[in-house]
Each structure stands twice: as C-alpha cells, then as structure tokens.
C-alpha cells in the first residue's frame, strides 16, 4: 500500500541522485560493471570482486529471510520502489553489495595500479555511502538496516581477504572447480529458507549464484586453455587515455554487453519454454514461475549461461574482432 502513496518531488537533484544511486545496487549495475572490469581492467580484480559479491549477497539475502525484520512502515515514510517492498529489511543488501564491490575493487587494485591511496579510499567510501543513503531516501530501509548491512559486509571482507589468493588459485586450477561451482550453488538455492509468502529474495539469490557459477566455470576454462589475461595496463587510473584506447574500451564494452543481453534473452525464453512444457503452464503464468521447481532452474541456468558467456565467449569474440 505504501508503494502507491502519492508524493511531490521538491528537490529533483536529490531525487535523481538517489534514484540513480539505488540502481547501483541492482542487476543493471552488476550486469554492466562486473563484466566491464573483466573485459577492460584486470581478470584477477574481476574474479575477486565476483566471488566476494556472491558470498556477501548470499549471506545478506538469507539473513533477511531468517531475521524477518520488516521494512519501514508507509506512512510515515514514502516508498519509491515497488518490487523489493515484498522483501524483509535487515540487513540492506544494497548496502552490503555497495560496500563489498567498492572496497574489494579498491583493495584488489591498490597494489596493481598507480593512484593515490586516499583517492581510492575516498571513491570507495563515496560510492558505498551514496548507495546506503539512497535506501533511506527511497524509504526502503531504516538507518539500522543500512548500518547493519555495511558492517556485515565489512566484516566479511576482513575475513575473506586473507584467503583471496588461495580461493582464486583453487578456482583456477582445481579439477573439481566446475563441479563444485555448479553443485554447491544449486544446493544452496534449493535449500533456501522458506517463507509463508512469496518474496523475490530466493529468485534474486539464484540469479546471483547462477551468474557466479557460470563465471567461475569460465575462469577455470580460460585458465585450462591458457587464455591470455587482459591486465588493462592502458587504462590505469592516473594515466591519460589515448583516443584509440577509449575507442577499444567502448568497443569491447558495447560488443560484450550486446552479446550478454542477447544470451540472457535467448536463455530465458528457451529455459522457460522447456520448463513450461515439463510442468504444463503457459509462459505468462507468473504464479507458476514462482514455484521452487521452476524458479530455481529457470534463473540458475539462464544466468549461469550469462556468466559463462561473459567470461569465455565474449573474450573470444573480442579476439576475433581484434579488440584485445
């Protein structure tokens, strides 16, 4: 009910700033920024970010459905979003994702690229702060939700950092990596905490774990076939970008995103068609798509193919087009 509450925008700067900042914690950001780092900056940085992001988001999503803390009441707050209103509030996974992505990117790049330490730290802090404030502005979280999410993410980063190199080495070299990367996320998705009503948290978690599973298998395949690791030395922060470099970066990005979005569309249609035939429901039946036996394979297969495409097929296409 709160989502349909009428409101008047009195400050358009804050309105668009925080609406944009809120989008930095959603799929549109993940599906663009994470592949961008893989195609244009550094493979090792991207791998660490994706692993940290998936672990942090899984713990955050599960915590929500275990704690079952409600979101802020409306009224008095005005809620500017509708989809996520069905989820519980504590912790804010937007705050968790923003903290994890920004600070893992900062930590992973500070020893590889030459830029002022203070600048990198400030950028990570500003990014995560904007996303956290957007959750308050849009009425989706309390201050406690946001602080709790940021703190949980920070603690997980501290715990994971000493094992970064070990985890990365195992994911690249272990012969059990593909099996582990598929089976463990699937088990977690099928055993996700059950609620009395439908919430998009299970579907979102499956999307994240599926994309990570596909990407992880892609990392392993690239290492097995000794794919050249693009280190992005030409786009180091602090160095002037030549016009030709900018063209190559943009060409890699837009070509890759086009292929990724096409893969997502094709796989959604194909997998949903197969499941609809298997369980006898029309593709437009939203209630059927929310069932466990449909939602998990539908989203897991779709996004694992997206992750695999982004890490294997797109770099091969870049090589064929001479964009590396």
Using DSSP's 3-state secondary structure scheme, residue 88 falls into: coil
Terminus-to-terminus CA distance in the chain, angstroms? 51
Query: Is 96:150 a contact under the CB 8 Å cutoff?
Result: yes
Query: Is 96:165 a contact under the CB 8 Å cutoff?
Result: no
Nearest CA-CA partner of 1 in 60, 54, 78, 112: 78
Dist. CA 54–CA 1, nearest whole Å: 32
94 assigned to active site: yes
Helix and strand totals (H; E) in the chain? 13, 0
Among candidate residues 141, 169, 230, 318, the one labeled active-site is: 141
Among candidate residues 43, 94, 230, 318, the one labeled active-site is: 94
User: What is the per-residue burial (b if ≥16 Cβ within 10 Å, else e) of 259-292?
Assistant: bbeebbeebbeebbeebbeeeebeeeeeebbeee
Dist. CA 30–CA 7, nearest whole Å: 30
Dist. CA 276–CA 270, nearest whole Å: 10
User: ∠ CA(198), CA(203), CA(207), 5° rounding?
Assistant: 175
User: SS3 for 139-159, per residue?
Assistant: CCCCHHHHHHHHHHHHHHHHH
CA dihedral 244, 44, 212, 264 (to 10 degrees): 10
318 assigned to active site: no
Nearest CA-CA partner of 113 in 230, 228, 238, 229: 238
Dist. CA 177–CA 191, nearest whole Å: 21
Catalytic machinery residues: 94, 141
């Amino acid at each position: 009910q709160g989502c349909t509450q009428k409101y008047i925008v009195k400050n358009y700067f804050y309105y668009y700033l925080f609406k944009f900042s809120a989008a930095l914690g959603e799929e549109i950001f993940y599906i663009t920024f994470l592949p961008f780092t893989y195609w244009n900056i550094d493979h090792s940085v991207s791998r660490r970010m994706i692993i940290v992001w998936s672990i942090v988001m899984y713990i955050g999503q599960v915590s929500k459905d275990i704690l079952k803390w409600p979101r802020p009441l409306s009224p008095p707050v005005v809620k500017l979003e509708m989809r996520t209103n069905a989820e519980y509030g504590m912790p804010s996974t937007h705050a968790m994702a923003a903290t994890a992505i920004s600070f893992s990117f900062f930590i992973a790049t500070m020893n590889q690229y030459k830029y002022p330490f203070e600048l990198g730290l400030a950028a990570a802090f500003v990014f995560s702060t904007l996303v956290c404030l957007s959750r308050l502005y849009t009425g989706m979280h309390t201050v406690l939700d946001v602080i709790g999410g940021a703190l949980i993410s920070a603690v997980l980063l501290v715990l994971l950092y000493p094992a970064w190199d070990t985890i990365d080495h195992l994911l690249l070299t272990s012969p059990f990596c593909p099996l582990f990367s598929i089976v463990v996320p699937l088990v977690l998705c099928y055993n996700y905490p059950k609620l009395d009503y439908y919430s998009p948290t299970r579907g979102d978690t499956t999307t994240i774990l599926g994309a990570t599973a596909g990407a992880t298998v892609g990392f392993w395949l690239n290492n097995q076939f000794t794919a050249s690791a693009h280190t992005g030395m030409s786009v180091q922060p602090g160095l002037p970008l030549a016009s030709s470099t900018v063209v190559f970066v943009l060409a890699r990005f837009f070509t890759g995103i086009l292929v990724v979005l096409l893969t997502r569309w094709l796989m959604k249609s194909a997998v949903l068609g197969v499941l609809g035939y298997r369980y006898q429901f029309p593709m437009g039946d939203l209630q059927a798509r929310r069932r466990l036996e449909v939602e998990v394979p539908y989203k897991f297969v779709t996004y694992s193919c997206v992750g695999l495409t982004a890490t294997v097929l797109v770099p091969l296409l870049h090589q064929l087009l001479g964009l590396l």
